[in-house]
Structure formats: C-alpha cells, structure tokens
Structure 1
C-alpha cells in the first residue's frame, strides 16, 4: 500500500535501510570498508562546524518587515523609502561581540544589531550595534582591540589587565567604555535595547544632493537592562537567555518592533561642525541634528533552521543600495574591506548564493566559478565585460556624485591630533545625565571590572585609566578611586592638573 511518507536516502538520493547498525564480518567481527553509509555519516559529521565568527560569534536572528511611515524623499532616492506604507522583507541578527559561540549571551558586552534588507535594488546590510559609538576610530587598531577582549595567549583566560591596559592607552575608547560599564552593557535580552547604524553613512536624493546620516532604531518594548548581579546570575541559570527570549516572543505572536529614526546633516556642515562627524567615538547632539521618523521594523518569523539562516547569515557594510552610501568614517572604510573578506573565509567565495544572503531579485554580473556555485553559474552566457552577446547594460542613473574634501590624498594622519582629541566631554556629559542609581551602578561596574587588573603593571594601568575618568568628570574619578580603595591624597598627586 502506497504512503506519503518520505524515504530515507543518501544525499545523492539513493534509498537505504540500515541507518543504525554498521556492516560487520559477523555479529562481533570488524566493520567492513564497504559500509558507505557509515562513512557518509561520519565524514559529514566531521564537517558540520564551519569556522565561527572572529567577533559576534554568539547570535540570534529572525525575519521580519520594515514599513515606511514617513516621507524622507528629500534626503534619499533609495527605493526602500519611496512610498509610505511600503514593506520590505528583512533578516536581523543580534549578537554579543567578544564571546565565543558557546558563551553566555548575557555577558557585559556590546550587542550586534545587523539588518539585511531585501530591496529591489539589491540587499542592503546595515551592520551596527546597540550603542551609537565604538571603542576605536581607526581600523588599524581593530585586531589589537579584539585580542584584548578574547583570551590571554599565556593563560587562555579572559584578562581584565589586557582590557584596561588597552583602554587606558587609547583614551578615545572612554565614551564606549562608559556606556559598556553602565547597565546598558547588560541588556535584558535583545528585544529591550535600541540599535544603531553607529557609523555615519550618506544619503543621495533624486537631485544628486548628498547628506550625511545616522540611523537609530528605538525599541518599542522599552529599554530594560540587567544589573551586573542579575546578569551574572542569568549567565549561570540560562546562558542562552536572550536567544530563548527572542524565539519565544515571536513564537507566541509577541512580535518585537523598533522605530527607525535618522539624523541628517547637510553635506556642507561637515566641514565646519565642531565635532568630526565621521568619528565613530562621537555622537551628534540631538539638539543640533534632531531625530526624524522614518518607519517601523518588526520581527515576526523565526527561522526554521538556526544553522541555515542565523549561522550562515553574512552582513557587510559594503552592501549598500542606490540612495544610501558610505562616508569617510575610517572605521566604516575598514569594515567595507574586512567583512566580505571574513565571509569568504568562513562561508566561501559564493556566500551570497546561500538563501539567507541571496538577493531575491534579478542579479546580473560576470562573477563565475568557485566552490559551491549553485546558481547555474551563468549558463552559457559570457563571463567577461564588455561583450557583444548579452543584454546587460550599465545604468548611468545610479551614478553617485564625487566626494570633495579639499585635502591631499595618501598620507597618514594622527587620529588624535589637535581638534580630534576631545575624548572626555561626551563621556562626562553622559555621566552627568545619569540619575543617582545609574551613576551608582556605573561606578560599581567600573570598580568591579578594574579590580581584576593584576600583575607588575597594575598600578600604572589603574592610574592611567583613572586619569581618563577624572578628565571626564572629577566626581566620577573620585568615586572610582574610592571604590578601588586608593589613597585619595596620593592619587590626586598623579592626576592631571586641569581637572
């Protein structure tokens, strides 16, 4: 009698029966080499793990939609924004930054907030964090920074000494460190935090005018954070708390939402604005560039297979669309190169053919061959350009205006030169905006973390970092020094005279 049940088959489609018992020479004899199914199962099992991401290894993701609610056509010609009410499918991956794939997702760490919009002009990857700034502003320092967040090459343990040594030697990190050491460093899952494009990007409108832009995703669930103690407790109780929280909410129909808002700066303002608008360690004050409503992002579909969708998702700031472009933000420029390179290493040269990364609209180019080419490889069409045989044309309407920065190209500029070296005003302002309890939590988290500094350079590292806290706000510096049980009179002798 025929049934609709699926037959058990090999990957090549051959039905087989014995999936639990190996073929042997007698009931107790050795296994025969000809048991192909045994070899298939073991060989595939040995290859189930792909290299984990160097950063953002532990993550969660879901599909959803972006719906336009406000007209911003005067700033950008991007088709994703061209009609109020228009919906665009997307995939969003949240992550921790420094931990391995098996680490707890409630660690004190920034959170990745990476979105892939599937637009008719190609996939747009907006790859940011839950913070508007970052620890460094030059990509040459990125590998060094991440090494300090990973494991000590001698002990193979996390090291507060490495972390604070680097931060104390790089005062531009202070703004992000202040955020990280607040309760914003331990968000209550992924649904209750904001997201940011972080970098400065550009908009280009139908008149070929350029604007500088920053992206803000404001959670509609309300901000909610763990205290340091609560986060520590959750790491032991459920290291996958954020993953479970997101998955369960969507399964239950409680779809999380974020409101997309933007800050827009006219191109000419960048030349005279008192803050370098392309410095990733700085924010644009909202009083100067207010938030403008754009639309709503909703997550409403859990992937049916974690590996296929979340683990193989590949986001790159290089992937922009017409009407959205880059800026001279040095960190953004570095990520334009490094992210696609990381994906080619981890997933292969054809990673954009994987379904979660594949553009759902027409793709026409001359990229061919390589491992795992599964899209027909262009068939019999030419693999060179220009040619006399196909009908692919260059559409000049997508051309962008050139940049003009009025300075020579090809030199090395000190990232912290005069005019670029105020690392203290914004973190100090952030501290002064906090209420009493938030200040108390921040100080306790700083003291707890800095108490882990050890070794022969301990005093030097502690005092160097204390100088930064004092420069940001003298009360903050005094409170940290007191929490570390330092001799305040002796400490003040080593502090900068300007505080």
Structure 2
C-alpha cells in the first residue's frame, strides 16, 4: 500500500487528494461543507494559478547554461566576469517571440527576443537582446504604438495588416528592421541556430573611469525556414521551436554560441557617419570588426517552467561594474519600463524569487518590506541613510570590489547635444543601410525572390490601394528593383 500522503500548504496532512467533504444524503453525495479546507484551498488556488502574461515576448523557451571567457578583455573592461580567460559564469536564457500570445505558433514570422541573466560574482547582469541587429524605432515614445500595430485590432480582435503597414509607412525609419523581418531571418528553423544582437550601444568601463562603446553579438550556425515551411509547422506543431530546444538539451546536444563585441572609442563615436545611439542603424564590420570575448553553452533544461522561466524577470537596467548604459534613448526608456513590468507581473519583491535572485551577496536595507517579502528583511538594520548605528549580522560585505568600481555609470556624453523636444526625421541616410542589406540578401540564391513573396502574402491583405502604394514607394527608396518586385508579387495576389 502506498504510504505517501499529501499536505496543505501550511503542512497539515490530509488523507486523499481526490475526495471532498460532503453532506451525505441517501447514500449519494450532497452539498459540500466550508470546513473542507482542502477543497476551498484547491479551488481558490486554481483560480489564481496564472500571472499576467507579458504584453510582448509572451511565448518563450528557456534553459540554463554557462558563459566562458575565451579571450583577454582587460584592456576594455574591468567587469569581474570577464576578468580572466576560462572564467565561467552560470546564466539563465529565455528566447521568445514578440508579438504573439503565449499560445501562439512559435514558427510564425516575428522578431525573437533573447533575455539572458548572468549570475556573476558581482551581481546579476541581464542582456536583453534580439535576433536582429537593429530595431523598428529610435524614439521610445513610439514603442507602445509599434507593438499595438503588430497585435490585434481593437474591434475585430484579429491580426490586421492594415494596422501593421499603416504604422510602418507613418514611421519609415523602421524599414531597415522590416528588411530583416521579411527576410529568411524572420522564420528561424531552430532557436539553436539563431544569432543574438544587443541592438543598443552599451559601454565597457574600467576602474579608472575610461570607457569604450560596444555592441554585442552572439553567433552560431544560422538555419532558417521558408515561408511555406514555417506555415506548415505552425499548423502541425505550434510549439516546434520550444520542443526542438528542450529535446536537444535533454539528449546532450548542447547548443553553443560565440560571443563577440564591436568596440568604438568615444573619439570615433563623435565623428562617425551615423548616430551611434540610433537603434535603426548597425556598425558595419568593416569599420568596427568583431572581437571575440567568450562562448556560451546551454546544458540544462528548467526543472519547472513556471518557476524557472515564466517567473524570470529581465531588464537592461540590471548591470554590474564594468558594463554601463549609453545615451541611446530607447535603452534609457527600457531601463525603467522592464523593472516596472516585472513589479506589475510578479510583485515588488520579484528579485527575491529563486530564478531572479543573484548568487552574489546582497545588502540592500533601503529596499525592504512589500508584498510577498520572504527574506530576513535585514532584521534591525537601519532602513534610512546616514545612520551611525552598526549593522547587524545581516550585513553582507561585497568583498574584492573597489569603491571606485561600484558605479556602472560613466560621465554623460557631453558631445551628444542639448536637452530639447526632439522630432525624429527620416532622410535618405535611413535607407543606406537597408540598401546594403538588400545586396547581402541578393548573395544567397533565391532569397530576394522569397523576400518579395514574404512581403506580398502579408501586404496583399491591406485593403487600401493608396496604403499599398506608399509601401511600394518606401521599398523603392531602398532599391527600385525591390519596390518593383514587391509591387508585382503583391498586386498579383490582390487581383486573385
């Protein structure tokens, strides 16, 4: 006989998980009783099992792994996790779609997010990247509108290509990212064969106050699906990418990436052709070649998806000494927006959840109390600044870090300009890099023709001919043949 027993959350045992307490009547079941705490707790908890879904990046796969330093970086950063060759740092990775809901097909055309939490010996460092090197916008006030236009129509509750293209025609700085979106990169064949890019400009800093601007890239062997393959897979197995990653790790086929940085000095930044804080632009490799710094390997699946992955919270504001933000306005907005979203979804003490908690010592007595605080709450230590009282046993000394290195922030870039209300204007310069990408796409046999079809199958659903023509005109600013090809394929579908 099975001697195991179950308990309530408070520890009190009960005899059976599959029976309830009822008022028995003539041999059959009857009304339940309020004294059946097991039943009440079971029903009450069930109605509260789900937490708010992420507004974007709702569907994701996740796994654990290890970052290994492969090359000396001491000349460009004092970050401890990069301090010596072969040093290893554990991390948690969440790879997501962006626009779709949690139950959507993960092979649908989309940008993919890359959220990576490194548990360094100086605290957590979050790299919240994408699988494309650029983004749709360069002004953060457009971020909610961008995502609304990619989601469901407020009346029909259906995806709406009219909304999608109307936004991008009105904000054509997005066409560089659209070139990536409608290329084969928009439908990766596997999360294991997909690159990741910081997109934003960051800083590598040193203890002496010097710094360089950097962009980060993680590279592997890239494999993509065609439009037809992605649609078929979405119908047959909407969780195909999640399953592929999980099963590969389970059988020991551990995915790996090589980590690179592009390095730019402040002096180079002042005179560079493009604004280095513009997220719609790349730094061409011929100007700033890739420099290898490390490698990452995924080698462990989550024990429980909800506790390890769904409750994970990532933010570009989570930084360590040696790594710092730049003046990129979209990045600056994300520094607030991501922790704010985590506080909404998970509560004010989301950093205490095991999946988010740092492995390094924490002493933060000014951030305490709040809903669901299950720490020691720093005992009797002063919760105000300027105290002359001695801290108690809860005090944690952050050993081995000099005070000069504690701040992640360097002096603000004085050369960037003056404070003003800024209106972003689109110029011919915004189409130079998309034109270069179109040439790169042309190096792969058939890719340009597939691009026409990828756009056409979506754009043909736009009802207004004038809006379709505006899209053709903007693609023609990238390349006349591109505009003509998209128009030909799209109008052929419209006429059918």
TM superposition score normalised by structure 1: 0.93
Residue 417 of structure 1 deviates from its aligned partner by 6.5
Match of 2:438 among 408, 431, 437: 431
Match of 1:157 in 2: 158
Residue 120 of structure 1 deviates from its aligned partner by 1.1
Tell me the secondary structure at the aligned position of residue 192 of structure 2. coil
Match of 1:447 in 2: 456
Match of 2:403 among 380, 395, 406: 395
Quote the Cα distance in structure 2 between the aligned partners of 1:52 and 1:401. Answer: 35
Mapped contact 1:424–1:468 kept (Cα < 8 A): no
Residue 6 of structure 1 deviates from its aligned partner by 4.9
**Counterpart check, 1:466 vs 2:466:** no
Residue 459 of structure 1 deviates from its aligned partner by 1.6
**Counterpart check, 1:24 vs 2:16:** no
Match of 2:8 in 1: 10
What are the equivalent positions in structure 2 for 1:203-218 lying under 5 Å apart?
203-218=204-219
Tell me the secondary structure at the aligned position of residue 470 of structure 2. helix
Match of 1:39 in 2: 40
What are the equivalent positions in structure 2 for 1:196-275 lying under 5 Å apart?
196-219=197-220, 222-275=221-274
What are the equivalent positions in structure 2 for 1:349-498 lying under 5 Å apart?
349-365=348-364, 366-391=366-391, 395-399=403-407, 400-406=409-415, 409-416=418-425, 422-434=429-441, 435-454=444-463, 458-485=464-491
Match of 1:169 in 2: 170
Which string of whole-angstrom CA distances, capped at 9 and with x for unpartnered residues, describes residues 214-250 of structure 1? 000001xx11111000000000110000110000000
Match of 1:490 in 2: none
1:417 and 1:161, CA in 2 relative to 1: closer, same or farther beyond 3 A? closer
Quote the Cα distance in structure 2 between the aligned partners of 1:28 and 1:16. Answer: 20
Tell me the secondary structure at the aligned position of residue 369 of structure 2. coil
Which string of whole-angstrom CA distances, capped at 9 and with x for unpartnered residues, describes residues 450-471 of structure 1? 01112xxx12211111111001
Quote the Cα distance in structure 2 between the aligned partners of 1:183 and 1:404. Answer: 37
Which string of whole-angstrom CA distances, capped at 9 and with x for unpartnered residues, describes residues 30-84 of structure 1? 1112111100000000000000000000001100000000011111110110010
1:462 and 1:390, CA in 2 relative to 1: closer, same or farther beyond 3 A? farther
Mapped contact 2:347–2:371 kept (Cα < 8 A): yes
Quote the Cα distance in structure 2 between the aligned partners of 1:301 and 1:135. Answer: 33
What are the equivalent positions in structure 2 for 1:48-197 lying under 5 Å apart?
48-197=49-198
Residue 270 of structure 1 deviates from its aligned partner by 1.3
Match of 1:494 in 2: none
Tell me the secondary structure at the aligned position of residue 485 of structure 1. helix
Residue 207 of structure 1 deviates from its aligned partner by 3.0
Tell me the secondary structure at the aligned position of residue 176 of structure 1. helix
Residue 409 of structure 1 deviates from its aligned partner by 4.3
Quote the Cα distance in structure 2 between the aligned partners of 1:406 and 1:112. Answer: 32
Quote the Cα distance in structure 2 between the aligned partners of 1:408 and 1:302. Answer: 47
Quote the Cα distance in structure 2 between the aligned partners of 1:436 and 1:120. Answer: 47
Aligned residues: 478
Quote the Cα distance in structure 1 between the aligned partners of 2:484 and 2:437. Answer: 17
Tell me the secondary structure at the aligned position of residue 423 of structure 1. helix
More divergent stretch after superposition (107-116 vs 429-438): 429-438
Mapped contact 1:234–1:241 kept (Cα < 8 A): yes
1:57 and 1:407, CA in 2 relative to 1: closer, same or farther beyond 3 A? closer
TM superposition score normalised by structure 2: 0.94
1:6 and 1:80, CA in 2 relative to 1: closer, same or farther beyond 3 A? farther
User: Where in structure 1 do 4 or more consecutive aligned residues deviate above 6 Å?
Assistant: none
Tell me the secondary structure at the aligned position of residue 427 of structure 1. helix
Quote the Cα distance in structure 2 between the aligned partners of 1:28 and 1:80. Answer: 63
Tell me the secondary structure at the aligned position of residue 113 of structure 1. strand
Match of 2:324 in 1: 325
Residue 7 of structure 1 deviates from its aligned partner by 3.1
Quote the Cα distance in structure 2 between the aligned partners of 1:57 and 1:243. Answer: 13
1:96 and 1:417, CA in 2 relative to 1: closer, same or farther beyond 3 A? closer
Quote the Cα distance in structure 2 between the aligned partners of 1:396 and 1:381. Answer: 25
1:121 and 1:151, CA in 2 relative to 1: closer, same or farther beyond 3 A? same
Quote the Cα distance in structure 1 between the aligned partners of 2:34 and 2:363. Answer: 46
1:349 and 1:250, CA in 2 relative to 1: closer, same or farther beyond 3 A? same
The answer for unaligned runs of 5 or more in structure 2 is none
Mapped contact 2:206–2:405 kept (Cα < 8 A): no
